Structure 1
Amino acid sequence: MPSTKNLSAMIRGTEQPDSSDKRQTDGVSCFYCHQISKVHHAKTQNINFSSATSDDKPTMFGNLKNPDSSDKHHAENNEIYKNSEVCMGCHSHKENSHGFEVCNTKNEHDTRSDCIGCHMPKAAGGNEKFNKRGRDEYATHKFLGIRSDEMIKKTVKLELAYKENSIELTIVNKMGHSIITHPMRLKFAKTVVRRGGNVIWSNFTESPIEDKEATFIIAFKDAEDKPSMPHTAVGYKINQNLKAMSSKVIKYNVPNLQKGDEIESTWISYVVNPQIAKKLEITTKEVIEPYIGVKESIVVR
């Protein structure tokens, strides 16, 4: 659908997708991304300029210096595919009709940002079966994210320390954007103390929200200060987040720490906050299950 010619009308709600038109039913595909020739930065949201024409042989862009064309398309090098600028057409920001930004990564995107390097890591070989140039490596198109065990263990670093009757947890955001970029996400650090294999202390009992310092979540509010969906939001009801490449230290009072006690902290992420999933009756397993990230543990000496 992003490639459809009547996208603006669909966004306004004045037209519906035509099931017989492939351009209107196709999702984000190879042709959509690789035909972006330029990204125009605008106030409410950025705009992609596409090279798509009615020509039977379209022009595809990428990061290769001297790309091979084929009988299916032309190929050209484009600088925006090198510095991740191409990603910012869709993933920069979105402002609703009330002038409130419901998502934003543009404030943290600069010349050092590497969306492609993180979400499309290099792999050996080439991505096509017939490779005339015999490339040594290519950018994978797995688009790793919160559902990837490989990715989720790289995003955050946990550090633990203790003194007498206290624990110190440091959470380091290693990502190039805030920990929460989507209002349905829930991420948190669960910290426990075990003695003889039994948990004798935890930073929360039932819900991670009990420990606001170690929980990362955002929720919007409307003009009446009530929880709202993104389209009616005028501000944040809750904004517990951590900016790119930054850290925070959390201190817990834990009485009677003893020699041999094990302190463990685990990073846990949900694609959809379980409370939201329940309210919206979302039951898809990969959306509602927890994704376990990095773990850190120390033993009291």
Structure 2
Amino acid sequence: MKFILSFLVLLGMSLNAEVKYPSSESCNECHENIYREHTASMHHKSSLFKDEVHAKVKEAVNKDTYKCAICHMPATKNLRAVMSGEKQPDPNSYRQTDGVSCFFCHQISKIYDSKAHKINFSNYKGEKKPTVFGNLKKPYESNEHESQSNEIYKNSEVCMGCHSHKQNAKGFEVCNTKNQYDKTSDCIGCHMPSTPGTIEKKDKGIRNNYASHEFLGVHSLDMVKKAVKLELAYKDEVLNLTITNKMGHSIITHPMRLKFAKTVITRDSKVVWTNFKDSPLEDKQATFIIVFKDEDGKPALPNKAIDYKLNRNLKANTSKTVTYKVPKLQKGDEIKTTWISYIVNPKIAKKLDITTKDIVKPYVGVEESLYIY
């Protein structure tokens, strides 16, 4: 009798024990296509354990506290303690190394708008069978979770929980996309395009397409090639280059980026003119960059910024025309403009000793050529 009673007590303790927070890997059991995409995405690689840029910036800005954890590894169990510096990030915790995990993204119930940044409200309370949200026409039955449609997943508001704005301790906004966002914005439609296939193994035949979970962006060459449109026109030693931003937000949304149009005129395979020699910054009109300044007016990292030292940008769905005075061209000359994008400005990468090849390399986007006949 005592054995049976002890067994029942232990059983009750195990049933009432805290339910393990679902890891991204646990989603692979049913959602193998989405899991494969997610593990290659910057959402999965957002933590300082998997993103060299983020790790180096964190080290340079503040070695003790980690306020960025609220967006870069939001599933952290002791999030407040890690943000304040009471606890340090743990490379052995999958809730941290998962970055912006599958489960975290799909259990956001609403978004709170604060002055410094927006905040995602978690729906999860430790339930054994939690509710997950999405843009669902028909919620699916599952043994692992309840499925429910949520309006914030339909109009991309869920993205703004992290990608809206960030204000530093000095009250200066170091990034902002909220001014270009409204209820009709389609972040999801662009960055999570419709992909042939099914969302889960047993779903075959029910769906023919699903939203890609690669979260394509500046790390994707395909996306870089879609970002802008280039147009060239030449007459009487005057060259006009029109750059059109095709994106739903400014060309520069992150202060570490560098993007520019390189224009070269060749004659018999030899360069006879170019819009810059050593640095794209020589061409102020065709280079897009943000540089912050500190209280002394010197270039600064985001945490010490009080204003812009340099702000060359182009808003969503707008164009600008750059005019160059060039040498008189001859029959057979070629004018070629190439769009080039850096995830991290090479000067910043050198300063922070960032060496990851896919981060420091140039991403060559769309090209446009004009021949003189």
Same fold by TM-score greater than 0.5: yes
Cα distance in structure 1, aligned partners of 2:278 and 2:308: 24
Q: Secondary structure at the match of 1:153?
A: helix
Q: 2:110 aligns with which of 35, 38, 57?
A: 38
Identity rate of aligned residues, in percent? 63
Cα distance in structure 2, aligned partners of 1:212 and 1:279: 23
Deviation at 1:149, TM superposition (A): 1.8
Tell me the residue number matched to 1:89.
161
Deviation at 1:155, TM superposition (A): 0.8
Moved over 4 A (4+): 18-21
Which of the pair is proportionally richer in helix? 2
Q: 1:158 aligns with which of 212, 215, 230?
A: 230
Cα distance in structure 1, aligned partners of 2:331 and 2:95: 65
Cα distance in structure 2, aligned partners of 1:148 and 1:181: 16
Tell me the residue number matched to 2:286.
214
Tell me the residue number matched to 1:141.
213
Q: Which runs of 5+ in 1 are unaligned?
A: none
Amino acid at match of 1:254: V
Are 1:109 and 2:220 counterparts? no
Are 1:23 and 2:108 counterparts? no
Check conservation: 1:220, 1:229, Cα contact below 8 A.
Answer: yes
- 1:74-126 Cα offsets, whole Å, 9 max, x none, are 11001111110000000000001111000000000012311101110001121
Are 1:250 and 2:322 counterparts? yes
Cα distance in structure 1, aligned partners of 2:136 and 2:204: 14
Deviation at 1:23, TM superposition (A): 3.0
Cα distance in structure 2, aligned partners of 1:80 and 1:268: 34
- 1:138-193 Cα offsets, whole Å, 9 max, x none, are 10111111121211111100010011101000000011111111111110000011
Q: 2:346 aligns with which of 274, 279, 297?
A: 274
> Structure 1 stretch 46-55 or stretch 16-25: which is displaced more?
16-25
Q: Secondary structure at the match of 1:180?
A: coil
Are 1:224 and 2:296 counterparts? yes
Cα distance in structure 2, aligned partners of 1:40 and 1:133: 38
Check conservation: 1:127, 1:140, Cα contact below 8 A.
Answer: no
Which of the pair is proportionally richer in strand? 1
> Structure 1 stretch 13-22 or stretch 156-165: which is displaced more?
13-22
Amino acid at match of 1:152: V
- 1:254-277 Cα offsets, whole Å, 9 max, x none, are 021122211110000011111111
Amino acid at match of 1:215: T
TM-score (ref. length: structure 1): 0.96
Tell me the residue number matched to 1:200.
272
Cα distance in structure 2, aligned partners of 1:11 and 1:212: 39
Q: What is the root-mean-square deviation of aligned Cα atoms in Å?
A: 1.4
> Structure 1 stretch 167-176 or stretch 122-131: which is displaced more?
122-131
Cα distance in structure 2, aligned partners of 1:175 and 1:4: 33
Cα distance in structure 2, aligned partners of 1:29 and 1:203: 44
Task: Give 1 or 2 for the bigger CA radius of gyration.
Answer: 2
Task: Give the number of aligned pairs.
Answer: 301
Q: 2:331 aligns with which of 243, 251, 259?
A: 259
Deviation at 1:132, TM superposition (A): 5.7
